[in-house]
Copies of this chain bind each other. A is one copy, B any other.
Amino acid sequence: MLDAALRLAERGGFDAVQMRDVATEANVALGTVYRYFTSKERLLLEAMVEEIEALAARLEARPPVGETPAARVVEVLSRGTASLQRHPEVTGAMVRAFGAADEADVVRRVGDIMTGIITGVMHDGPPTGRDLAVARTLQQVWLSSLIGWVGGVDEPARVVVDLETATDLLLGDGEEPAR
């Protein structure tokens, strides 16, 4: 069913993921879909968990090569964003579900994975408290940017720009302008 949902999202985004169609596409009855996913948002969010876990795995498989933590963070966020933007409709559907959802647990899971992607490349060893704070902030910026992009407020490229800006500010790579 998750695959079916993704297929439908691929062309048409959120609106094209209609529960009846998901059922049909998955060769299953509508009631069965609702047995496993209590709402459309949940369905899309669980798909999002899978997608973003896969993304995290891919990123981990080929770690960023930057010298500084800031460089590595930007690299991983750029690659992640690029990957998401490669399927705009799908990402759009998922992000939209995320923004509206009343499904705390899955939403939290998605956020945690995103945060993990960031902390994972900061440096060896377990992240410090500050690392976690920075990562959480970056994750929030990431999400807001995606929402802005998905909602048509910002250009696709703006997401990466925002992330670079935020990373620079948070992990200041040296030349801090006058305060």
Q: Which residues of A contact B (CB under 8 A)?
A: 69, 96, 98-104, 107-108, 111, 128, 130, 133-134, 136-137, 139-141, 143-145, 147-148, 151-153, 162, 165-166, 169-171, 177, 179
Contact = CB atoms under 8 A, between A and B. Distances in A.
B177 A130 contact: yes
Number of copies of this kind of chain in the complex: 2
A132 to B, nearest CB: 10
B162 A140 contact: yes
A145 B140 contact: yes
Q: Is the interface of A mostly helix, strand, loop or mixed?
A: helix
A145 to B, nearest CB: 7
Given A96-B100, A100-B100, A137 B165 contact: yes
